[in-house]
Amino acid sequence: MIGRPLPTADAPHQTIGVLIGLAVFASDALSSTAYATQEMLVILMVLGPQAYQYVFPLAIAIVILLGIVTLSYEQTVHAYPNGGGAYIVTRDNIGALPSKVAAAALLTDYILTVAVSISSGVAQIVSAIPSLFEYRVWIAVGLVAFIMVVNLRGIKESGKTFAIPTYFFIITMFVTVLVGLGRYLFGTLGVVTDPPPLEILHTTYGVGAFLILRAFASGTAALTGIEAIADGIPAFREPRSKNAGTTLIIMSLILGSLMLSISFLSAHIQAVPSEAETVISQLARTAFNGRGGLYGAVIIATTVILIMAANTSFADFPRLSAITATDGLLPRQLTYRGSRLVYSRGIVLLALLATLLIVVFQASVTRLIPLYAVGVFLSFTLSQAGMAHRWWKIGKLKEGQELRERGSVLRYDPNWLLKMVINGFGAFCTGVVMIVFAATKFVDGAWVVIVIIPTLVVIFSGIQRHYHHLAAKLSLENYGGLPQIGRHRVIIPIGGVHRGTLAALRYARTLSDDITAVHVSLDPQEADRVRQKWETWGDGRRLVILESPYRLFIEPLLEYINEIEALRQPNEIITIVVPEFVPRHWWASLLHTQTALTLRMALLFHKDIVITSVPYQVD
């Protein structure tokens, strides 16, 4: 959004340092701590109280994965100082088809980020004000609409505006877990009082590797958003790769410690996963002994950072759409900004799709999560694999040699082998997680994404083929030019003889001397009137009356045009000049036959027929 401008839109003095960078880019990643632990518990609770013993070990596994991904992305940040999103890295290092897969995965991921973050934000609100529970879908839809409007208007805040809520969240969460841990050490932290009704996703599984893997897969939602910094490097102050890398590492440290401490405490207080009250809410009121001011601060901070995470997608989705549209994978219109200097079409599209998801899944994080992380880990895997291949290419270079690719410049690096191993290991781990996720969540909804991603790839390829085909057809290579136009015939369909008709006739006279007015007659008396008036006002031009006993209007006209067309010489062009009223009020245009539009549709595939409407403003 703000921190990641396109070169044409922003001047370089708006770059940011580590402190502000953390505020701008961390909301998406940090906000996932608000639901990751809870979603693990939803799966584990089928085991009863035994569940709590698995939460912390799983959190440790997730934090190890976080470490591997962070190390891997740290290398991307240095390799792509102009931005190394998964699409660009895959496109430059693996190939066209995998890059389409990456684009499809990322676009679905952005949509899901909005749906999941907003749903989780609403769940926080509902935890504090339970009476809003039955309106949660409406609140979520309203929030999406609000973010859409804000983004359509264009956001003019600086990165500093982001600093306040992000640091507010970091501070309140650290206060909460520190108070919790302190009370735990002094032995005064009890279990959660008056817990909400338990909800679990399945009741049919016993304990076993599958259950643990499913819980782990849910927990990996904590890693979503970590790739944001790699996309946004150009926003950083020089040395930007170094600044971005530092920011990434700090963000991961915060994320990891929050994930560990929230999971540890949630297990200890025996928090209950529920749609009615979030685990964060239970943790905060247990740590602070009730719903006081500090509790309120945690809920507000969590809600706000979740909304900000959704907002991030409203910058990323249109931007990636524009990049892929420039490469011809999506309609070209997505590369244009609207009058408020934002990619309005992409913003509206994202809001509509996210709203659809929220309504279908009833704003339930638990029901949305199975769709979420497949796309994220797919893009992680492709991006890291692309990086590994890039190191391989670098290993082949000679010292001092440079290889310029579309997204970055490759220079020899003596440590290429180690770095290739790091990225390769990252790709391997995230790839394994992706497969675990897809397998364990398949029936719960992951299949939807597994269907959508290839479908999108097919659509991308179809669009790209269309543009290539068109470019070939329109090319001026070996083109002899068109023959000169010999004769220009003008046809004016008229409903009556009035000022609008005369305006069209006047215009037609500047086109050609060969003018024919055509009246479709539903009523012989009306036809006589038209004929008489035309004698006075028609400037001596031909008038053809087409009888229409069956009260047809457009068909006799088309028949006449087809006749003229059949008799036409080569090099002869036909223009149909349609008089058209422009009423003062938009609704009044419903009261007029849209003759020009209808003719345009009907004659679309006829060569050398042009339809012009001459507007006549009625005031």
Close Cβ partners of 99 (under 8 Å, ≥ 6 residues apart) = 87, 90, 91, 382
**Segment interacting with a second copy (CB under 8 A) among 259-267, 284-292, 381-389, 478-486:** 478-486
**Angstrom distance (rounded) from CA 9 to CA 593:** 43
Q: Token pair 């082998």 is at which residue?
A: 417
Residue closer to a second copy (CB basis): 184 or 616: 616
**In the complex, what is the shortest distance from the CB of residue 581 to a second copy, in angstroms, rounded to a whole number?**
7
How far is 307 from 121, CA to CA, in rounded Å? 7
**Segment 334 to 373, residues that bind a second copy, using CB under 8 A:** 335-339, 341
Residue among 326 and 415 whose Cβ is closer to a second copy: 326
Binding mask 302-341 for a second copy (x = CB under 8 A): --------------------x--------xxx-xxxxx-x
Cα end-to-end distance, the chain, whole Å: 44
Dihedral sign (CA 231, 237, 242, 247) = negative
How far apart CA 89 and CA 70 sit, in angstroms, is 16
Handedness of CA 148, 149, 150, 154 (dihedral sign): positive
DSSP symbol at 490: E
Q: C-beta of 607: minimal distance to a second copy in Å?
A: 6
Measured in whole angstroms, the distance separating CA 407 from the mean position of its chain's CA atoms is 22
CB 392 to a second copy: min, Å: 31
Residue count, binding to a second copy (CB under 8 A): 76
The tokens for 380 are: 């992680």
- 82 makes contact with a second copy (CB under 8 A): no
51 or 614, CB closer to a second copy?
A: 614
DSSP 8-state symbol, 575: E
Binding mask 511-550 for a second copy (x = CB under 8 A): xx---------x----------x---x-----------xx
Q: Does 9 bind a second copy (CB under 8 A)?
A: yes
For the segment 561-590, give every residue that binds a second copy (CB under 8 A). Answer: 573, 575, 581-583, 588, 590
Q: Using the minimum distance from each CB to a second copy, give the nearer residue, 270 or 512.
A: 512
Question: In angstroms, what is the minimal distance from the CB of 582 to a second copy?
Answer: 5
Look up residue 220 and give its two tokens. 């990996």
Q: Binding a second copy by CB under 8 A: which of 71, 436, 463, 546?
A: 463
Closer residue to a second copy, CB minimum distance, 353 or 394: 353
Q: Judge contact between 373 and 381, C-beta under 8 A.
A: no
Residue with tokens 């690096």: 413
- Two tokens, residue 430: 């995230």
Residue 50 or residue 532: which is nearer to a second copy going by CB?
532
- In order of 77, 314, 420, 431, 495, the CA distances from 82 in angstroms are 9, 20, 21, 26, 61
How big is the chain by its Cα radius of gyration, in Å? 32
- Angle of helix 293-326 relative to helix 136-153, nearest 10 degrees, comes to 50
Residue 92 near residue 408 (C-beta atoms within 8 A): yes
Q: Scanning residues 485 to 514, which ones bind a second copy (CB under 8 A)? A: 485, 488, 497-500, 502-503, 506-507, 509-512
Given 167, 552, 560, 564, the residue binding a second copy (CB under 8 A): 552
Distance between CA atoms of residues 618 and 498, nearest Å: 12
**Interface characters, 122-161, with a second copy (x: CB under 8 A):** ----------------------------------------
Residues 6 or more apart whose Cβ sits within 8 Å of residue 598: 554
User: Please, which residue, 273 or 538, has the CB nearer to a second copy?
Assistant: 538
Tell the smallest beta-carbon distance from residue 457 to a second copy (Å): 17
**Are 332 and 87 spatial neighbours (Cβ–Cβ below 8 Å)?**
no
What is the Cβ-side half-sphere exposure of residue 508, based on CA atoms within 13 angstroms? 32
442/616 with CB nearer a second copy:
616
Q: Which is nearer to a second copy, 417 or 485 (CB)?
A: 485
Give the phi and the psi of residue 411 in degrees, each rounded to 5: -125, 150
Pick the binder of a second copy from 404, 473, 513, 525 (CB under 8 A): 473
Regarding 482 and contact with a second copy (CB under 8 A), the answer is: yes
Could you tell me the smallest distance in angstroms from the CB atom of residue 102 to a second copy?
21
Our CB check for a second copy shows the closer of 49 and 549 to be 549
Find the binder of a second copy among 257, 364, 562, 612 (CB under 8 A): 612
Question: Which DSSP helix (H) or strand (E) runs through 57?
Answer: helix 52-79
Q: How far is the CB of 528 from a second copy (least distance, A)?
A: 16
Q: What residues numbered 420-439 form the site for a second copy, per CB under 8 A?
A: none
Residue 218 contacts residue 40 (beta carbons within 8 Å): yes
How far apart are alpha carbons 565 and 158 in whole angstroms? 61
Q: Which stretch binds a second copy (CB under 8 A): 360-368, 394-402, 418-426, 467-475?
A: 467-475
Q: In whole angstroms, how close is the CB of 231 to a second copy at the nearest point?
A: 18
Closest approach of a second copy to the CB of residue 291, in Å:
42
CB of 449 to a second copy, least distance (A): 24
Q: Of 154 and 431, which CB lies nearer to a second copy in the complex structure?
A: 154
Structure-block tokens of residue 37: 């632990």
Q: Are 305 and 34 in contact (CB under 8 A)?
A: yes
Q: Which is nearer to a second copy, 175 or 573 (CB)?
A: 573
- The single residue listed with the structure tokens 């759409």 is 321
**Cβ closer to a second copy: 238 or 523?**
523
Restricted to residues 280-299, the positions that interact with a second copy (CB under 8 A) are none
**Phi, psi angles (nearest 5°) of residue 531:** -60, -45
Position among 167, 205, 442, 467 found at the interface with a second copy (CB under 8 A) = 467
Q: Which of 186, 513, 551, 567 binds a second copy (CB under 8 A)?
A: 551
Residue 610 belongs to what H/E stretch? strand 609-617
Of 140 and 497, nearer to a second copy (C-beta) is 497
Amino acid of residue 419: K
How near is the Cβ of 339 to a second copy at its closest, in Å? Answer: 5
